[in-house]
Structure 1
């Protein structure tokens, strides 16, 4: 190990809180673990952070355990939540577990030699309720439990409160750490900053039960524009790693649209480039921020990792075509490229028979779902925000055959960034 992992993660902005003494422990090979509860059938972009940290650990000679919470998923973590979770059935949790497991294995395929994948259901299902509250519950006072931020915020909420089920979550996660400490000599747990209370519960349990020193640290949470964290069971839109939930094109565009203020932070967090290379990239970006050099670099790297190099290259080509201001570019596209655009951006099929009968632009905009209503589409038209095949349209009109690209496609655009393609067949 050539350098201290804490120093490496710190300059990247990947450490929020840490237990004292962790630097000395990590000077020698250490087994660490990260956990994922299967509350959805896919991970999201916030889930990449613990996997990125895990890869950093792998590169520096440490061993990693990845824990899927087949048991804790039954309960639901109250951390960072304002209300009780909706419980999932065992069947759904099992399906989600397999899906997340496959995602993790794919994302870590080049770093799997020292990674072990586990499911906490394998050991927790064998512990009876009476055993647990006697052998584990005795180590923690109620005062200690309600002092945790995740519990304190909810316990003072008269409307929602916190159920005993969620109240017990921290103890079960703490038990996971104890089990892994005893069975796998695991000395370190990492998680998002909202997991600090759960991590310290496990550290305290190990100390009281075994007398051994354990460690933990957290990384900052990645949040949406409204300040809410990305999460598998959070309400609102997430950026998922599953291409069927978030298309690779939309995934790529998320990174392209990151602000200049945030991109210098994200290029450190989400890539494995050295400090020297990142400093050079930032200098190059600052010379002409309008070219979005850093955004393109990050978008390519992370899309390649999550969706593969072939799809990433296709998305870059599609993006170039869609954002090229010259409408003539569309006339030279072959069928393969048009199909690729159709497969990667929002789309619909319009029957040739319906097109032949005659359809006006506003009706098509409404029918496609690109706009919720004709009145909404009409306002966009009057605001000079609608383009058809890259040509600005200023009034409603009846579409003709000369509006079709490659004999079967029509490309719609709203503003600078929203696209929709229609296939006529």
Structure 2
């Protein structure tokens, strides 16, 4: 069997390793228990988490044992990495709710159970720590001078770094120690922004347990221009279908830039690299075929094959001028509510296509709204029953956002 290290490297996952040769040898000779942490700062995982989730899946397929660590304890403090300001403090109840949402979502991608993956929550050991004992056992091994050189802390020094957040590296390092002691966890994986936190755990175990453990980080999901992927005008691209519909999720991947197709196919699908290379080498209009396959494959993994087929059908129906899109986001309006007609701005608000009427007026003035495929030029345009075809009306915002108004 091919070493999973080579698979991850070929597909472009691996960014940094603490000991490349040793990690590759370890993964090639035995089943390794490894972990990735997910702080429940929202009630859904998003596209930014998906690279590490895919890496976990590749590792499990190769016979290694994942630990999905929910950060119920670390979320009480908040990771300062990549943040210009202190994270908003969340209540224990909110964190617990978010953690339960994460557990449910992760179970769609990783197989948990006896002799399978492990689900753990660092609240189980962090929330009951004795602070003085923790400082004496753990804090003594960390140099403040060195920690201040970490990128996650350096970028915060100008605006102010709270002592609360300064503890984050110690807490994450302690997680690794706890998982090492409890499950013989030998490897921590994470996004490349977690490098300094991972190093802390590797060194802590070496000092306290006199044993070698390892760390490996993955590329962050960025465009060819270096910008983070997974953001739209309306916010993050979530893995929860109630926050980002399967159709919108599909459309996001269908519309990635040509230059990002190979990276996305490599990191976010299980397609063989031979097929990835073939698809990403397509040029001109043919690259759209590769984007359709990308969108279908990623949507299938996240939402299931049935939803992927519905989203694919809906997108193709729109492309060919059809009005019955299946899984296109839909807003229902009763005939009584429609009456003699409703102005376009009210319709756009009901469909959550605009945050305010002033934004709607701006969009219409700039030609950014179409009804039945035709630009709306009048901000006072009235939508009437005869605008509907088979009780449906398609509204387009910009080039890529479609919404169906259904008359009931």
TM-score (norm 2): 0.89
Distance 1:36 1:43 in 2: 9
- Is the aligned partner of 1:89 residue 2:91? yes
- Is the aligned partner of 1:299 residue 2:266? no
| Equivalence map 1:8-27=2 (5 Å) | 8-20=7-19, 21-27=22-28
Q: CA separation of 1:38/1:389 partners in 2, compared to 1, >3 Å: closer, same or farther? A: same
- Is the aligned partner of 1:123 residue 2:107? no
Distance 1:121 1:362 in 2: 47
Q: CA separation of 1:220/1:377 partners in 2, compared to 1, >3 Å: closer, same or farther? A: same
- Specify the SS of the correspondent of 1:276: helix
- C-alpha displacement of 1:127: 2.3
Q: CA separation of 1:291/1:110 partners in 2, compared to 1, >3 Å: closer, same or farther? A: farther
- Specify the SS of the correspondent of 2:14: coil
- Is the aligned partner of 1:413 residue 2:396? yes
Q: CA separation of 1:224/1:247 partners in 2, compared to 1, >3 Å: closer, same or farther? A: farther
Q: CA separation of 1:15/1:111 partners in 2, compared to 1, >3 Å: closer, same or farther? A: farther
Distance 1:125 1:231 in 2: 32
Distance 2:361 2:151 in 1: 49
- C-alpha displacement of 1:374: 6.7
- C-alpha displacement of 1:136: 0.6
Q: What residue in structure 1 maps to residue 276 of structure 2?
A: 278
Structure 2, unmatched stretches of 5+, are none
Asked if the contact 1:75/1:169 (under 8 Å) is kept, the reply is: yes
Q: CA separation of 1:135/1:376 partners in 2, compared to 1, >3 Å: closer, same or farther? A: closer
| Equivalence map 1:352-363=2 (5 Å) | 352-359=335-342, 361=344
- C-alpha displacement of 1:264: 1.2
In the TM superposition, what whole-angstrom CA distance separates every residue of 1:92-120 from its partner, at most 9, and x where no partner exists?
11111111001001222499852111111
Q: CA separation of 1:381/1:290 partners in 2, compared to 1, >3 Å: closer, same or farther? A: farther
Distance 1:422 1:401 in 2: 11
Q: What residue in structure 1 maps to residue 139 of structure 2?
A: 137
Q: What residue in structure 2 maps to residue 243 of structure 1?
A: 241
| Equivalence map 1:54-69=2 (5 Å) | 54-69=56-71
- C-alpha displacement of 1:221: 1.3
Distance 1:393 1:236 in 2: 22
Q: What do you get for the CA RMSD once the two structures are aligned?
A: 2.8
> Quick check: 303-312 or 197-206, which moved more?
303-312
Q: CA separation of 1:379/1:191 partners in 2, compared to 1, >3 Å: closer, same or farther? A: closer
- Of 260, 263, 266, the residue aligned with 1:265 is 263
Distance 1:383 1:145 in 2: 50
Distance 2:376 2:147 in 1: 62
Distance 2:37 2:136 in 1: 25
Greater Rg over alpha carbons, structure: 1
Asked if the contact 2:280/2:287 (under 8 Å) is kept, the reply is: no
TM-score (norm 1): 0.86
In the TM superposition, what whole-angstrom CA distance separates every residue of 1:140-184 from its partner, at most 9, and x where no partner exists?
2211222222112212x1xx3111111011011101111111221
Structure 1, unmatched stretches of 5+, are none
| Equivalence map 1:385-424=2 (5 Å) | 386-391=369-374, 399-406=383-390, 408-424=391-407
Q: CA separation of 1:405/1:112 partners in 2, compared to 1, >3 Å: closer, same or farther? A: farther
- C-alpha displacement of 1:40: 1.0
Q: CA separation of 1:272/1:359 partners in 2, compared to 1, >3 Å: closer, same or farther? A: closer
- C-alpha displacement of 1:371: 4.8
- Specify the SS of the correspondent of 2:135: helix
- Specify the SS of the correspondent of 1:64: strand
